[in-house]
Structure 1
Amino acid sequence: MRMFDLFYEDYFQMKREDILSAITSTEGRTIMAETIISTFPLLDGVSNPETAAAFSADMVTLNTFNFEAPFIFGYDDSHLSPLIGIPDYTTEIQKIILKNKEDHQYIQKLKKIVGRFLGVNLEPVPEDSTYPKGLRCTAENLQKVKTLGFDYVVITANPSTGVTSEGILEGIRTARTILGTEILIVAGKMHGAGAGNIYDVETIEAFIAAGADIILLPAPGTVPGFTVELTKNFIDLIHKKGALAMTTIGTSQEGATETFIESVAQMSKMAGADIQHTGDCGVSGMTPPENLLRMSITIRGRRHTYRKMSRSPHRVR
């Protein structure tokens, strides 16, 4: 079954192997949208994950989701909009966070609204890092990934976090041990975030051997020197080793012109990407909706794009 053929109930029944099969069957036409959820969303009263799903994303990644203070702007506070600017607003948010921390169905409730596969970014920062504990790739947070029912975890690096290739590798090993066989592991870096780069054969092979299902790479045209040919060579290696490949736009170019998005989408498909990703630094914590739409139309045409957008999130067979 292909990603754009899924019905609402499929998103709640499919596990790791099923999702991997769906991505493979979709033949390079799967879209992942990364969204920042720790600040006011693009649209008042609508969370960024909801907007990304509405504009045809198949997989939605939550960035800056804090496991020690779970709160999603546009979702948890939509009923508080009239209170913005009033002291009670902060107090109410703290009450919601405390409630969310005790709610093991929190992500499943969000998923019922978004109607897509949901993932979360975790960062294997150095032990002496001042990075918030709730955002780190630790055994404690990985257990919460499992408890809350995320479909996948992305082990990666935001800028200036000090994350190294060795840190990502150890994060993959820990994640596979804790998450078992039901949750997908995506790993890699989109650009020079963290510390150093990972763009070499040995590191990619090590990530896959440690248990990564999907390796992320910069999309052609987003990082200096990343041509279609170079990206294809890496993707061929990833496929040979039995994993899938995701090309990413994580350089704020997700907020560039629609023409640029179309060009990158074409090049990524030529390179053999299984998933195409758009980042969260376009506008207000997500890719501009029109750019998501352009990527979707480019790699799968209007028919599949409009079907994805038009089918009611709660429509069942």
Structure 2
Amino acid sequence: MVTRLISANASEIVKMNGDELKQSIKASEGRTVLSENVVTEPAIDNLTTSEIAAAFGADLILLNLFDTFNPKVEGLHVDDPIDTVVRLKKLTGRPIGVNLEPVDEDAEMESTKLTISKGRTATAESIKKAEELGFNFVCFTGNPGTGVTNKMIEKAIKVAKKNFSGLIIAGKMHGAGVDEPVADEISVRSFIEAGADVILVPAVGTVPGFTSEELVKIVKIAHKHGALVMSTIGTSQESSGAQTVHDIALQNKICGVDMQHIGDAGWGVVPPTDTIFELSKTIRGMNHTISRMARSINR
């Protein structure tokens, strides 16, 4: 049996496979924090944003805008790009994941469609590359305007089950520019049947019309079929201040989610004391927050 993630040392975390990481999150009973970091932005004094996120209490790190075919993280210097993810895991002592976007070329868009690189798009090749680079988990979701659809997310999950050994997170934080439901029972069931370990949903309070009642239904479906649920603040509200983060975090914990994501829009706008720290403190209290912040990566 694995140690629950909120109490695990770095030496235990780095040895976890996808199934063990999932069980470790489940055992933490809704007290797991995931921080999403844009890898293209400079951080303070040549640090990566991932190191800062880990220092302020993030249990898992999700890299956004990371190109699997051109691996690079701002603030991280490696002799060989193939060592980028391994090096970042050593510096943070955290599981590291990557956003890969299942773009639908035929999607009916509500806004201008953005073109992204092949290394950021969810394909068999990019998923295999994520495995090669050593990522602990992949996240199939969409940035604003990229044209990601639930249909393509389901397809990406099936491809990942054949080509990736880590944890699979899947779902939409917002519309990604597409005119379709962001989260509903039909898509959730399809993601679970395809093999998703964690269902990603927008946090209640971030997407208009997505209610607590709807989230509770999704949580119950996911848990009944052995999947976990992660609520996400992916609408720039991570930059709205500590009180907003606190209110969203508490509301979604009441709904029963297993882990909570906080997006990258806060970087450079508000300090992680008002974002990651506030989320951590709200869903697990000061003792576990301090434990994760202070626990040496050399343990």
Fold-level similarity (TM above 0.5): yes
Pick the aligned partner of 1:193 from 163, 176, 198.
Answer: 176
How far did 1:289 drift? 3.7
How far did 1:236 drift? 1.1
CA distance in 1, matches of 2:214, 2:123: 33
How far did 1:285 drift? 8.9
Unaligned runs of at least 5 residues, structure 2: 107-113
How far did 1:127 drift? 5.1
Pick the aligned partner of 1:291 from 254, 270, 275.
Answer: 275
How far did 1:286 drift? 9.0
C-alpha RMSD over aligned residues: 1.7
Question: 2:111 corresponds to which residue?
Answer: none
CA distance in 2, matches of 1:217, 1:160: 18
CA distance in 1, matches of 2:293, 2:136: 21
TM-score normalised per structure 2: 0.92
How far did 1:273 drift? 0.4
Question: 1:158 corresponds to which residue?
Answer: 143
How far did 1:126 drift? 3.2
SS at match of 1:39: coil
Question: 1:173 corresponds to which residue?
Answer: 158
On the 8 A contact 1:254/1:288 being kept in 2, the answer is no
Unaligned runs of at least 5 residues, structure 1: 77-95
How far did 1:194 drift? 4.0
- Superposition pairs for residues 130-279 of structure 1, below 5 Å? 130-179=115-164, 182-195=165-178, 196-279=180-263
CA distance in 2, matches of 1:131, 1:16: 27
| Matched length | 289
What are the Cα deviations for residues 75-94 of structure 1, in whole angstroms up to 9, with x where unaligned? 23xxxxxxxxxxxxxxxxxx
Which structure is larger by alpha-carbon Rg, 1 or 2?
1
Q: Percent identity?
A: 41
CA distance in 2, matches of 1:214, 1:287: 28
On the 8 A contact 1:217/1:248 being kept in 2, the answer is yes
On the 8 A contact 2:73/2:84 being kept in 1, the answer is no
SS at match of 1:290: coil
SS at match of 1:4: helix
On the 8 A contact 2:35/2:60 being kept in 1, the answer is yes
How far did 1:136 drift? 0.8
Question: 1:110 corresponds to which residue?
Answer: 88
How far did 1:39 drift? 2.0
Runs of 4+ in structure 1 off by over 6 angstroms are none
The one-letter amino acid paired with 1:125 is V
How far did 1:8 drift? 1.6
CA distance in 1, matches of 2:221, 2:270: 30
How far did 1:288 drift? 3.1
- Superposition pairs for residues 48-87 of structure 1, below 5 Å? 48-76=49-77
CA distance in 1, matches of 2:262, 2:275: 9
Between Structure 1 and Structure 2, the one with more helix by share is: 1
CA distance in 2, matches of 1:66, 1:135: 5
How far did 1:150 drift? 0.6
CA distance in 2, matches of 1:194, 1:210: 24
On the 8 A contact 2:39/2:65 being kept in 1, the answer is yes
How far did 1:26 drift? 0.4
